[in-house]
Amino acid sequence: MESQESDYRSATVVEIWDLSPTVKGLKLHAEWHKKKSFKAGQWVHTNIPSINRLGGYTVCNSPLEFSNTGILQLAVKYSDHAPTLWFHEKCKIGDTILIEFGGTVFYDPKPQDSQYDLLLIGAGIGMNSLYSILNLVIEREASAVDKKLLPGKVHLMYSSKTKQELLYKEKLDEIEKNHQNISCQYFVTQERLNEPNIKHCRINKEDVENAFQMVDKSKCKVFLCLPFEMCNEIEDTLLNHDILIDEIFSINWW
């Protein structure tokens, strides 16, 4: 029987930057990108040769971009977990790590599916999976694919502790400006800001209820990427508003 490591493939670090005061952005290049890919919303296991522990990080860019360019973008939030600490303190351009795609929650519409709206709700570093989904929607729209592969309307609800931790906000604002069917709403819990599209609170029941003014709940799929307790609360709200459990896709953590 082959070992688990036989599924890992090498990727080389080609760019590192600060996405926020606590989050490193990284781009990896994989020469094998034409042979294997991932689905929007999935993550990667990482095996760093110098560290005897595995890490897991969500992918930020779309599988379409990866298949075309071989570039895989990650966002790694600081912690003392050994692989994470390596990315923040030791990783440099030219380093090679081993990666394997994983995760059973993803966005992958098929031509035979009925068209539906998307409601994306994320907090903190959980935005990464939703950003991958959003990037796929935009890239497919630009390539004029079958319209059944595109959602009708997309509404994003994104919460963080501070405005600085709202990853990709400038890009999200640009996306919203250039796509009439995409809307974004932000929530900050540890700052008070005088900005119309940023609320000073956690995403709550009322906010989720109001989101159905932006998307049609009768034909909507919901992707959640949230801390466990928050995820349960929002799932309950969705179920109470007749969103079917089969239309709710959750990634959560403690």
Domains 9-102 and 117-250 share a fold: no
| Distance spanning both ends of the chain, measured CA to CA | 34
Residue 163's CB is within 10 A of a number of other CB atoms, namely 15
CATH topology of domain 9-102: Elongation Factor Tu (Ef-tu); domain 3 (2.40.30)
pLDDT of residue 149: 74
pLDDT tens for 165-198 read: 999 999 999 999 999 999 999 999 998 888 888 9
Q: What are phi and psi of 127, to 5 degrees?
A: -65, -25
- Round to whole Å and give the CA distance between 226 and 239: 17
pLDDT of residue 167: 93
pLDDT tens for 72-83 read: 999 999 999 999
- CATH for 117-250 is 3.40.50.80
Indicate the domain borders of the chain.
9-102, 117-250
In 21-153, the DSSP E strands lie at 23-29, 43-47, 54-58, 71-77, 96-102, 117-123
Helix axes 127-142, 169-178, angle to 10 degrees: 30
Is the pLDDT reported for residue 148 higher than 80? no
pLDDT of residue 254: 64
List Cβ neighbours of 29 (8 Å cut-off, separation of 6 or more): 11, 12, 14, 70, 71, 72
- Tell me what the pLDDT averaged over the chain comes to: 91
pLDDT of residue 145: 67
Percent share of the chain, pLDDT over 90 = 80
CA distance to 12, 32, 49, 99, per residue, from 5 (Å): 17, 16, 12, 9
For the segment 54-79, the average pLDDT, to the nearest whole number, is 95
Is the pLDDT reported for residue 144 higher than 70? no
pLDDT tens for 23-54 read: 999 999 999 999 999 999 999 999 998 887 88
